[in-house]
Every structure is written in C-alpha cells, then in structure tokens.
Amino acid sequence: MVRLTHFRLCPFSRSVRAALGELGVAVELIEERPWEMRPQLLALNPAGELPILQFEAGPPICGCTAIAEYLAEEPVRPTDPARYPLMPAGRDARAEVRRLIDWFHNKLYREVTSWLLAEKIHRPAREPGATPDTEVMRALRANMRYHLSYIAHLADERGWLAGEKLSFADLAAASQISVVDYFGEVPWDQHPSAKLWYARLKSRRAFRALLADRWPGMPPPLHYTDPDF
C-alpha cells in the first residue's frame, strides 16, 4: 500500500495527491499539521515538511519535487493506455515543465499561498482570535492578479500550461490556486482563460477529491467545487 503523509490545505501535498490520482496509484492518506512539528513527522522527514510518500519497500520520499521526479520514472509509470506520463519525453519539454513547477511551487507559493495560509490557518491556530493583517492581504491579492495573468497567457498560448498535454506543471499551478480559491481570493472574472483552464482541472476525477476537503469552521465559497463556476 502507498502512503502519503499530507495536510489537506498544503498545496505541495495536493499536487502529489492529484498526480497519484492521474497515474491511477491508490494511496492511503495520513494527515499531519506541520506547524505542530510532531516527532512522528520529524522521524519521517527531519525538515518537518510535507508531503512524504512511502511505498511498502524503500525509504520515505520527501518533498513534492522529489516525489514528482520519482513518479515520472518506473515502476509507477502508468500502464493504462488511457493515461500518459505527467513528465514529457523530450529534454526541452521536461525543462519547461520543471521551470513552471518551480514558478508555481516557489514563486507563487512565496508571494501568495504561504502568506494566505499563515494569515488564515497557521496564526489563528497558534493565536486564537487572531485576524488577518490587512496589509498582507492587500499585497497577496495584488500578487495573485499577476500570477493569474501569467496562467491565462500560458493557457491561451498552449492549451495546458506547459504544452498540449496535462503535466506536473498544471498540477503544481492548480494545487496552489485551489488553496487560494478555498479562501475566495482568486479574481476569476478578470482572467477568463485562466478560469477555463482551471475548470478543466476541476472536472478531472483526480482533482475533485482534493476539492472535497474542508477546514473546520471555514467553508469555501459556493463556486469552489463547481466546474462551471
């Protein structure tokens, strides 16, 4: 059995969950709240970060980048002809997927998602009653508009973000977007091409499972799970 240690609103965990779903790999989910830094988590990954993928044999695979590369190799490459690898074959094409993974899992996370999680989840968990900092929220909203504009540009030019087929780049972007959208902070009406791209992701079975997750006492907006918005 494959195990994934994750947090339901961790975008990195979400991208791996979506990838496993796309590849048809059954997985047992084990949830951790990373800010608690439990010894059980540190025993698996001394960095105390998620996600962590475990197969029946072999050491834990830590971090979404390492996991994405592992899943692109044997023996977990899909054998179902209706599925296809999430990392393309050509070197140039793989380099572009990796560039976009870095963009969304580093730049977008650093400029938007990490601040939003800190203000909405992490700080209130440590300081009950804490409210979001208005200056931080204003800055991350401006950054979100910039990133959504870039997604719209890529979707217009290519169909999927890195090319003609779905790839890890789309899952990285969509996982970050899904967390931001959970809090209603994505200005969809300003970028219809990005909205159409994300609607295609929302319609996929592997992604719908992520959208079913809820954080106690904080429901998402009504459009969150609707593929037609």
pLDDT, one tens digit per residue, over 120-138 is 998 887 788 788 999 999 9
- In whole angstroms, give the CA distance from residue 106 to residue 113: 10
The rounded distance, in Å, linking the Cα atoms of 169 and 164 is 12
pLDDT at 74: 64
CATH architecture of the domain with range 91-211: Up-down Bundle (1.20)
Within this chain, domains 2-71 and 91-211 share the same CATH topology: no
- Bridge-based pairing of strands 52-54 and 61-62 is antiparallel
Report the distance separating Cα 129 and Cα 107, nearest Å. Answer: 29
For the chain, give every domain's residue range: 2-71, 91-211
Residue with tokens 């951790």: 32
The residues of the chain scoring below 50 in pLDDT are none
Distance between CA 34 and CA 52 in Å, rounded?
A: 12
Contacts of 191 (CB under 8 A, 6+ apart): 148, 149, 151, 152
Q: What's the pLDDT score for residue 84?
A: 63
pLDDT of residue 127: 80
Strands (DSSP E) contained in the chain are 2-6, 27-31, 52-54, 61-62
Top-tier CATH class for 2-71 = alpha beta
Q: What is the pLDDT of residue 220?
A: 97
